[in-house]
Structure 1
Amino acid sequence: MSTKLKLVLYQIVSGTLGNALVFFRPEKARELSANRIALVHRNKKNLSISERLMRAALIQKLDKIQDYDVIAEQNRNFWINQSATDLFSELKDTFNTDFLPHCTFIFELLKSELSNHPEEFDTIVEIGTGNGDVLNYLSSEFPNINRFIGIDLCQDQIALNNKKYKDNKRLNFIASDAFDWIQTNGHDKTVFVTSRGVLEYFKESQLQELLNTIYNLGPTMFIAIEPNGADHNFETNPNSELYGHEPSFSHNYPHLFKNAGFNIWHFSQKVWFKATDKQTFVGAKSS
């Protein structure tokens, strides 16, 4: 029996079992599907085999959403409240299993860019800092940077971060909308960072406005580690498109950075999560 046929049979059997479990366990099904984004991102390690089957069946039943304004609003509403804190806690292991082995190479490249830049940078701002693990890591990797600021919509998570990292005096976590904070507090000689799923929740027009604002601050750099749909070809479709079950936005990041005036000094992509999407790495500078 071919591998492809085995996969098809597995999907049929698992789908049938999952749907049956959803039918016979409606209370558990409602619990699992209480929030769309949490359902999609839940750590399967924390679920029993029957719950994994139910989760897969429930994901397949999610209604398609095409209204970009509705999508952006729903995603924002999730990340701003306690549900985001719960998910950050559940996915905390991804710092060790995902970020450290797969993403840190771009910060080694950033070190070279900073050492060759005519001006000395003094601040790193992480947009969508989540549980703060990435920002804490960066504070150890860049000893010459004075300030490390983590911005996130979720006030509860920011409070947890400030408590967890109270002994690291170089870290400062702030509950705010990133665009609002940058308009008021952003300045030059800053490195902006996003890690593994932040800009995907911005509509294309919002993201372009954010990048334009950062570019106009003066000399800045930007490290973007963001997912894209596996079939999003930037050459044939330069515009943003929907992807995933949330859904979120697969952006053409090089195109948007260049539109804002940035120079791209690094661009690469890696297949992610069994080829259902890919991770895009962008290093950009405004001068």
Structure 2
Amino acid sequence: MKGKLIYLIGDLLILLMPKKAKKLAKTGMTITDRNKITLIELFMRKSLLKKVEDKSDYNTLSEFHKAYWKNKGDDFFTATDDSFEKNFLPECSFMFELLKNKLSIEEEDFNTLVEIGTGNGKVLNYLSEQFPQIDRFVGIDLSENQIIRNQKTYSKNQRLEFVAYDAFDWVNTYANKNMIFVTSRGVLEYFTESKLLDFLQQINRLGNTIFVAIEPNGVNHDLNANTGSEPYGYERSFSHNYKVLFKKAGFNLWHSSTKDSTLDHYFSYMGADNYSKKAVMVALR
């Protein structure tokens, strides 16, 4: 009953203040800071998200998320500046030890590592230290403000490049074979299922590539019963079946594991490539 009342109020507010609702959707509302958003905007947000989800209009839902990261991503990265130390290092760095082991026995030489959704650049800088044999590290993010900050912060590291770009467009224009692609703690969750499949297929067509993806899944998403993607959590981003999507796109998994995180999601850790046929190395959740 309470939920219905909130949506009813939100619908009424959108009707009364259409310009405000349009601005909220255009500038981004994926993650909200309760100190910076009004109660009116919160009601509108819930209603806007519910409307597109009820229609299964996932393209619009994805555009809401894209608007947020483009316009407000730098604010989020500033507020979570310690995430690298508190979350990435203890929870995610093991994936790159596995990647080191994989590269040590590979005949292929990988000359470029691309981080999609680079944020404050700390992960990319760390990876440049961990993989001295790789010449070039590219950090892609939608936030132009954050990219400018990164370029100044890491100006002394000549192996790092930061670009403000849509990842799909960057790959289509600049990517090549023998690249390693990385996402860390929630990037692909903002792609629709069809867009993500297109993206992975696009990367597969480049030639020999590796993909390391660390992405959340909704705890209520039964990946066996529903092999497709579905919105989850407060943000209403997408819980994807990464095993299925990587396979459809022509990749083979060399690692798959999960770790519990919060009440509404856990993290999936995926390592994939498009040239080997080795059995997947699985660590059970």
Which TM bucket (shorter chain)? 0.7 to 0.9
CA distance in 2, matches of 1:218, 1:38: 36
Q: 2:65 aligns with which of 75, 83, 87?
A: 75
Q: 2:189 aligns with which of 200, 210, 217?
A: 200
Q: 2:133 aligns with which of 144, 147, 158?
A: 144
CA distance in 1, matches of 2:30, 2:68: 7
Instruction: Report the 3-state secondary structure (helix = DSSP H, G, I; strand = E; otherwise coil) of the residue aligned with 2:195.
Output: helix
| Larger mean Cα displacement after TM superposition, 112-121 or 135-144 | 112-121
Question: Number of paired residues?
Answer: 243
List, as ranges, runs of 4+ consecutive aligned residues in structure 1 with deviation greater than 6 Å: none
Alignment of 1:37 onto 2:30: yes
Match of 2:95 in 1: 106
One-letter amino acid of the structure 2 residue matched with residue 284 of structure 1: A
Structure 2 contact 115–138 (Cα < 8 Å) conserved: yes
Percent identical residues: 49
Cα distance, 1:35 vs structure 2: 5.8
CA distance in 1, matches of 2:179, 2:28: 36
Q: 1:283 aligns with which of 268, 271, 274?
A: 271
Match of 1:62 in 2: 46
Structure 1 contact 230–271 (Cα < 8 Å) conserved: no
Unaligned runs of 5+ in 2: 1-23, 276-285
Structure 2 contact 253–273 (Cα < 8 Å) conserved: yes
CA distance in 2, matches of 1:192, 1:241: 24
CA distance in 2, matches of 1:84, 1:149: 18
| Larger mean Cα displacement after TM superposition, 255-264 or 114-123 | 114-123
Match of 1:7 in 2: none
Instruction: Report the 3-state secondary structure (helix = DSSP H, G, I; strand = E; otherwise coil) of the residue aligned with 1:173.
Output: strand
Q: 1:35 to 1:210 in 2, by over 3 A?
A: closer
Cα distance, 1:200 vs structure 2: 0.4
What is the RMSD of the two structures over their aligned residues, measured on CA atoms? Answer: 2.3
Instruction: Report the 3-state secondary structure (helix = DSSP H, G, I; strand = E; otherwise coil) of the residue aligned with 2:31.
Output: helix
Instruction: Report the 3-state secondary structure (helix = DSSP H, G, I; strand = E; otherwise coil) of the residue aligned with 1:120.
Output: coil
One-letter amino acid of the structure 1 residue matched with residue 199 of structure 2: L
Cα distance, 1:177 vs structure 2: 0.9
Unaligned runs of 5+ in 1: 1-32
TM-score between both structures, scaled by the size of structure 2: 0.80
TM-score between both structures, scaled by the size of structure 1: 0.80
Cα distance, 1:231 vs structure 2: 1.5
